[in-house]
Structures are given as C-alpha cells and as structure tokens.
Structure 1
Amino acid sequence: MSKLMRGALLSATMLCAHLTGAAAQEPNRAEVMHWWTSGGEAAGVRVFADAYEKAGGTWVDAAIAGGQNLRAAAINRIVGGNPPTSSQFNTGRQFDDLVGQGLLVDLDTVAGEGKWRDVIPAPIVNAASREGKFYAVPVNIHGHNWMFYNTATLQKAGITEAPKTFDAFFADMDKLKAAGVTPIAWGGQPWQEALVFDAVLLGQGGRDLFLKVYRDKDEEAITSEAFQKVAETFHRMRDYVDAGAPGRNWNDATNMVITGQAGVQIMGDWAKGDFIAAGMTPGDDAGCALVPGETGYVMGGDVFVFPKLGGGAATEAQNLLARTMLDPATQIAFNEKKGSIPVRTDVDVSGMDACARRGAELVRDPANQVPSVNFHVSADTVGALQDTITSYFNDPAATPENFAADFASVIGSAD
C-alpha cells in the first residue's frame, strides 16, 4: 500500500470516530450522495428520502449532477477520510477498488435478514457482491435498450407502430426526416453513444454475440462479419441526428421527444421518468419499444455503497437506509418515479405503467437477462470502449473493419 493510501486510511479512521460521535447525537442521520438531478430522477430520490424519514431517519441530500462527477467526488471523500453515509454507483464493477481497499461495509447480515438472494436476479446479486458478500444495495433494474417516442409525432409522419426490424427503423427515420422532424434525439456524449451501440449490438447481433464480446472478450467474435454489420448499422444513424447533438445531455434529448422536436430516443428507461414528470403516460402518448431485434433486456441499474464509519449509531443509520431502499412498497413507489423496474422480483408490478410491466416480465426469465458492459469490465475499460465508439461514430470516413480492430484492441487489454 502506498504512503498516500496509508495516510488517507489513517485520516479516514480518525474522522470516522468523529462522525460516529456526531451520529450518536443525531440518530439515523444519513448523508446520501447521488447524481439524480433531472425531473424523473429527483422525484425518485424524494421517494427514498421520504421513506427513510418516515422510518425514523434524517435524510441529508448530497446531489452532484453527472455520474462521473459524483463518483469522483464520492471516491475522493471515502479515500480521503470524509465519507458520506452512502453513495450511489452504477451496478457493476465501479466500486471494485473501494472493496479491495477495505473501505466499504459488508452488508451480508442485512442481506440475509431480507433474503435478498432469493428475490433479486442472480446477475444483479453477483454485481453487488464480492467474494460472496454484498457490498452494495441494488435498488433498481434499468433497461438500456429501450426506444422511446412521442406517439403523436410518429403518427403525424405516417408511422403507426414501433419498428421491429432495422430496415423498418430506417424507413421510419426517413419518414420523420421528410416530415421536418429530427428523426433521432441524440445525446452526443461518449456514454450515450456507447449505450446506443450496445442496444444495436444486442438487437442486431443477438444475445450470443453480445455476451461473446463483453463477457467472453472473444476477439474472433469482435472481428466477425456479424459484429461489423452491427457497426455499420450504428454508424448509419449519423444520417438522422441534428447538428446540435454533440455534447447534448440525455435529458435534453428526451425533452426533444417530449416536445415533438424529435421522433425517437434510444436510451435507458430513466428517460421514461422525465416523460412521466412531463405528464405523459408511458405506453400511450409516450411510446416505448425495445430496439429492433428484441433479443433480450440489457440490464443496468443503480446501487448504493456504505463506507465504513466506525460502527455504532452510524452503522444503525446505514442498516436502516439499506432496509428502507429494499422495502417492497418503497421499491414500487421509487421505480414508478424513476422509470426503472424494481430490483425485487417478488413485488406486484401490475399497477405500474405498460413499459415497466413489459420490462419486469422480460427480466423474470433468465434467458432474457443480458448484463450490461459495466458488469463485465472495469470502469477504465468501459471508458476506453466509450472513447472508441464515439470516435467511430463521429468520423464520417470510419470503416467497420477499422472500428472492429480498435474495439478488439481495447477488449484484449481489459482487466
């Protein structure tokens, strides 16, 4: 361990004693770091806050816009000795280093009491666990391969149903373009472009190719004709985005669909939360369909980790927060606002919107469960893949062959 890390851990130990004393003065006080700042996200996190306070806790909100910004701030605080009660991460490997450094609480006792392993899909359990123990509380399942649209906008362009093939998809994009509407509301940020690529990879390439690429890191699969066809389809979407796409936030792209400026958005179902916040009904005026191909459900989501705070009242606050987040009623209320589906498969989703019911139905069948890239490779590798995908998409002269070679190079060095 480096001198810097030893110093950070010593500072954390000294500060934890102070924080524990503060927590004893204010029982069940929980400072929660998260990046949920858009309309639907803010409504969702409010559900958690209200439920925690109803359970006897005090919620201290610590929001920082942008997942990357939040994660960097949270890691700095945890390593630097000023940890929050809990912090959000994406489901997957983003908190590996914190576990390895012994900075997170082992939640296995709470998990055992709540029988989490019995009610949460196995890929999510595995992603929240290290060496068989829970180190994070998974709170939802996000589908990454959704296509959202404004039903009225599509109807005005002569489109009566969501496309089920990519040939039909591009034919519909041509209709939208002819109608004077931006066909695809595109968020030109690396993580968004990579999300769309992965949706096309599953839809056109199929579950087998998706898993060979990300889980197996199979170079032959990546350089195959099937993978290059996926790349070609993804690159073709350049013809249907507007000049303002570069750098656009996902929720701004969602608003383009809500207001009828654009036809469709390929995005995770957190976008649905903003449709709901705008007064639109998912499955009705806010249409939803899986990206053409419908060969599975790309599962992502959010988890909350709990840094070590010295035990005592601080640990009691963390345990109460963990139990509250996975309470069945809270799960339904939160995910209705957030746009995702409950991480618990034992809750009644019959009162949720049509898109959520469809997602929950798919996830109940293990054959449809397709863990996202975040489950399979480190955060650094995810970032390198995003850069490779973005570079390819934004280069009009780029070829599928060269892209496949670059992609294989990144995967080949993945940890």
Structure 2
Amino acid sequence: MMKKLSLAVSFILASSPVLAKEEAEVMHWWTSGGESAAIRVLADAYETEGGTWKDSAVAGGSNARSAAINRMIGGSPTTAALFNTSQQYREMIAEGMLNNIDEVAKSDRWEEILPKPTLDAIKVDGHFYAAPVNIHMPGWFWYSKEAFEKAGINSEPTTIEEFFSSLDKLKSAGYIPLALGGQNWQENLLFATVLSNVGGKQLYLDVLGKRDSNTLNSQQFRTVVETFLKLKPYVDAGSPGRNWNDTTNLVINDKAGIQVMGDWAKGEFTQANKVPGQDYGCFPGLGDESLYIVGGDVFVFPKTTDAQQVSAQNKLVETMLNPETQIKFNNLKGSIPVRTDIDVSSMDICAQKGAQILKVASRQVPDGSMLMEEFRYGALKDAVTEVWNSQDMSTDTAVSIFAHALTN
C-alpha cells in the first residue's frame, strides 16, 4: 500500500507543471546612491513574496520614461515603469496603453488613506492607473548646521526677509549662500518654491492652475518674479549644468549654506552618514503656515493580457504599499509614506515634520505638473530657465515671458 502511494505521489509531482516565479521587469531612473538603496527595498519586498525582480535602470527621468513608452509601442513592455505623480501618463491612459489596478486600490482602501492631490493624479475616469509609492515635497530647505553657526545664523528663517538676511550672512562668511544645480527642472523647482512661499496658496493655484491674464499681470505675481530674480547673485559660478546630487554634496561637505531641493536630497545625506538636526537642518518652508507641495513618484503598468504579468503587476502594487515597505523605502528615498495611516515615529525628524503637515489638508497644494498638461509644464520650465539665465532681465520682461509660456 505504501509503495503504491509513493508511486502515485511521484507520478503526480512529475506530471504537474513547475510554477515559475512571477518575473517583474521594472524600469526606473533611480541611479544615485540614496535612490539605488531605496529601489532595492522595493525589489527585496517583491522577492520576499516569491517574485523575481528584473531591474532596468535608465539614467535620467525623461530618458527612462521615453524608454518605457518605446518598449510599449514596440510590443515588449516592461511589467512596470516609474513616472512622476503628474499628468505625464494621461495620454497613455487615453490611448489604452496601461492596465488599471482597481482591484488592489479598492481592497487597500486608497480612497481613505491617500491624500487628495495624489488621488486626483492617479485616478482617471473612475479607475486607478498608477501606484504611488511616496510623497515628495520639492520645496524643502536643506542647510549646513556648521555653515549657519559660523555665519552667525541663530535660527531658521521664517520670512522671505529673514531668508535673504541668512543668505547675506552666509556670503559674508565665505560660503556659497544658495546651492543650485543649473538644470531647468532644478531652476523650476526653485521658482515653484518662491511662488508658494511668497505668493501664498491662492496665487499658487491661480498661476499654475487658472493661468489667466489678470493673475499673471497682478502685483502679487510681479513680487514673486522680483523675488526669484533677486536670488541670482547668491548662486555660485559652478551652478550651470550641475547635477542635483552634486549640488547637495556642497551642503553635505559644508561648502554651501542652503539648498532648496526636494526631500529626495535627504537620501544623499543619509548615504553620507549625516544626521538631521546634528549635521544638517531641514525646514519645509518659511513659517509655520507654509504650503506643502505634494509631489511624488508612481509606477504605471503597461497593458498586457498575460495572466502571469497581470498577477506580477498586482503583487508589485501590494508589496510597494505595504506599511513596513513604505517605512523602509521612504527612510532611504528621503520622502514620506504616501499612506496617511502609517506610524512614522521611527522615521527621522524631517520626515516626521512632513508627515505631520500632510495631515493638514489646507496646507496641501499639488505640484505644478499635476495642474497642467505635460507640454505646458515643459514650456513653463523653459521660461524659468530663460528668465534665470538672462543677464539684467527686467521684471516686466520676465513677467511677460512667464505669461506667454502659461497661456499659449
């Protein structure tokens, strides 16, 4: 009897198909030190659940997005592809190029646990097409504690006047006052930060959302542009073309005083073994009521009817938004969890500041890329770069350039 049972089991095992691990090819642009460590967390989480992660890294956001789209058009899509939380993937949705992930979104109660600006960006015509993995706020201020101390700056600036005073003190003490990488997306990030801190919520939403002539020709917007132009003398000669992480290293190495950059910069401080509150400081805006620009990263899922790939896509979403994964990933990425129901007490002081502010809906505003089409957002970035890199440009001319970019 035992012999017959053994033979029967052997026959069943031999005749059963071997189930392969669900391989997921993931295309992204996270190639810097902090970013590479963060993406590894997502890969490990997926593989812990029995999948196989195939990493496809392409340097540069626009390069990676173009490569992902080309793979879709060519008939060999990846399982998932990284995009920003924006309108970058709206045309792909309209063309039927993406699978929705409604099943996971509904079972995990996304409508209840995700902030509204994020929901508005990932849900189109009643369906969820992108899995958000974080909240990145692009307008954080990072500063060298050593530089502040030696320059005689005793507290973080809370007004634009105090900010310029701090820049003057840093310049007098021999530091690069404002570390900026001269690339159009970095210059645009600085402009958006000035707009949010100087213009306030209504002007921010009107300039980037309504884009009407009355707003763009108002004295309030003129003041924003004047303030932006006033920052130019505080940037060093090595700024043009410099990468963001190389610029962050100027603050890490106490060569520069302040960098305005998204919270992904914190990943570089972490990789350099720098401790927030001890080696460097962080504040999300000027004053206790400053706006919190909600940006971030999402993964989209190219259209496929292959059952194994669909299963892999859903498993990727589930593992990426797992609470434990969210904490580990965002600790390294420098961002904060996209889920508002997660305990962040184990995270650093910068992340805790951001998570606390995120609970105040009145302080949330969408990133500019969520408020306009991709082509128009590109025109805005081009306008910012033209204004920033022109010599002796008048405020009137700069306002005209912005108005043209945002209305044509």
TM interval, short-chain normalised: over 0.9
Instruction: State how far apart, in whole Å, the 1-side matches of 2:291 and 2:332 are.
Output: 24
Aligned residues: 390
**DSSP-derived class of the 2:189 partner:** helix
Deviations along 1:126-153, one digit per CA (max 9) or x if unpaired, are: 1011112100001100011110011112
Instruction: State how far apart, in whole Å, the 2-side matches of 1:256 and 1:137 are.
Output: 33
State the 4+ residue runs in structure 1 displaced beyond 4 angstroms: none
Deviations along 1:4-29, one digit per CA (max 9) or x if unpaired, are: xxxxxxxxxxxxxxxxxxxx974310
Deviation at 1:365, TM superposition (A): 1.3
Counting only pairs closer than 5 Å after superposition, residues 235-384 of structure 1 correspond to structure 2 as 235-293=229-287, 294-384=289-379
Partner of 2:384: 389
Deviations along 1:228-254, one digit per CA (max 9) or x if unpaired, are: 111111111110111110011100100
**DSSP-derived class of the 1:215 partner:** helix
Could you list the runs of 5+ residues in structure 2 that have no partner in the other structure? 1-17
Q: What's the C-alpha RMSD, in Å, of the aligned pairs?
A: 1.2
Instruction: State how far apart, in whole Å, the 2-side matches of 1:52 and 1:400 are.
Output: 51
Counting only pairs closer than 5 Å after superposition, residues 161-176 of structure 1 correspond to structure 2 as 161-176=155-170
Q: Percent identity?
A: 48
CA contact (8 A) 1:150 1:263 kept: yes
CA contact (8 A) 2:284 2:354 kept: no
Partner of 2:130: 136
Deviations along 1:145-184, one digit per CA (max 9) or x if unpaired, are: 1100111121111112211112111111111111111111
- Read off the aligned partner of 1:232 and give its amino acid letter: E
Deviation at 1:221, TM superposition (A): 1.1
Instruction: State how far apart, in whole Å, the 1-side matches of 2:213 and 2:268 are.
Output: 39
CA contact (8 A) 1:27 1:313 kept: no
Partner of 1:210: 204
Instruction: State how far apart, in whole Å, the 1-side matches of 2:380 and 2:68 are.
Output: 23
CA contact (8 A) 1:140 1:341 kept: yes
**DSSP-derived class of the 1:62 partner:** strand
Instruction: State how far apart, in whole Å, the 2-side matches of 1:64 and 1:270 are.
Output: 18
CA contact (8 A) 1:27 1:317 kept: no
Deviation at 1:291, TM superposition (A): 3.2
Instruction: State how far apart, in whole Å, the 2-side matches of 1:106 and 1:113 are.
Output: 14
CA contact (8 A) 1:207 1:296 kept: yes
Q: Does residue 185 of structure 2 align to residue 178 of structure 1?
A: no
Instruction: State how far apart, in whole Å, the 1-side matches of 2:62 and 2:100 are.
Output: 24
CA contact (8 A) 2:379 2:406 kept: no
Q: Does residue 25 of structure 2 align to residue 31 of structure 1?
A: yes
- Read off the aligned partner of 1:45 and give its amino acid letter: I
**DSSP-derived class of the 1:70 partner:** helix
Instruction: State how far apart, in whole Å, the 2-side matches of 1:247 and 1:330 are.
Output: 34
CA contact (8 A) 2:252 2:269 kept: yes
Q: Does residue 98 of structure 2 align to residue 67 of structure 1?
A: no
- Read off the aligned partner of 2:87 and give its amino acid letter: R
Instruction: State how far apart, in whole Å, the 1-side matches of 2:378 and 2:301 are.
Output: 24
CA contact (8 A) 1:283 1:353 kept: no
CA contact (8 A) 1:182 1:263 kept: yes
Deviations along 1:232-285, one digit per CA (max 9) or x if unpaired, are: 111111101111100111001000100011111000000011111111122332
Q: Which moved more, 1:170-179 or 1:322-331?
A: 170-179
Could you list the runs of 5+ residues in structure 1 that have no partner in the other structure? 1-23
**DSSP-derived class of the 1:149 partner:** strand
Instruction: State how far apart, in whole Å, the 2-side matches of 1:166 and 1:122 are.
Output: 29
CA contact (8 A) 1:200 1:291 kept: no
Instruction: State how far apart, in whole Å, the 2-side matches of 1:207 and 1:218 are.
Output: 16
Partner of 1:117: 111
Q: Does residue 93 of structure 2 align to residue 99 of structure 1?
A: yes
Deviation at 1:396, TM superposition (A): 2.4
Instruction: State how far apart, in whole Å, the 1-side matches of 2:313 and 2:373 are.
Output: 26
CA contact (8 A) 2:87 2:372 kept: yes
Q: Does residue 82 of structure 2 align to residue 83 of structure 1?
A: no
CA contact (8 A) 1:28 1:320 kept: no
Partner of 2:213: 219
Partner of 2:6: none
Instruction: State how far apart, in whole Å, the 2-side matches of 1:85 and 1:26 are.
Output: 16
